[in-house]
Amino acid sequence: MSEALADDMLVCRCEEVTVGDIKKAIRDGARDVVGVKRRTRAGMGLCQGRTCEKLVQQIISKELGVPASETGTSSVRPPVRPVTFGELAKGDVEDD
């Protein structure tokens, strides 16, 4: 883990968010993973942050000088995996 991270290095590859984007989000007031996500879309792509969340936590931790345990974790909402609109449309939505 190199100290001198180039600003153009990708962190969230799904949404193509770089180290520089995340540092800027932190300068703009992001204090946790959700704050960075709202400002940059990091973690909002196909993998839903499975690859980048820990990397985002590390950057926040270093930039703000806080332990990783204080950098938070992403919120989730369904569907947690990609589903086609076709399947959603024919889905079983009856109630009890």
Q: Residue numbers of the site for other proteins (CB under 8 A)?
A: 1-3, 5-6, 9-11, 13, 19, 48, 50-55, 57, 68-69, 73, 75-81, 83-84, 87-88, 90-96
Write the single-letter amino acid at 33: V
Give how far the C-alpha of residue 88 lies from the chain's centroid of Cα atoms, to the nearest Å: 25
Q: Least distance in Å: CB of 29 to other proteins?
A: 22
Token pair, residue 11, equals: 């962190």
Q: Which is nearer to other proteins, 24 or 62 (CB)?
A: 62
Q: Which is nearer to other proteins, 30 or 49 (CB)?
A: 49
Q: Least distance in Å: CB of 39 to other proteins?
A: 19
DSSP H or E stretch at residue 27 = helix 19-27
Q: Which is nearer to other proteins, 30 or 52 (CB)?
A: 52
Tell me which residue has tokens 């609109």: 85
DSSP H or E stretch at residue 17 = strand 17-18
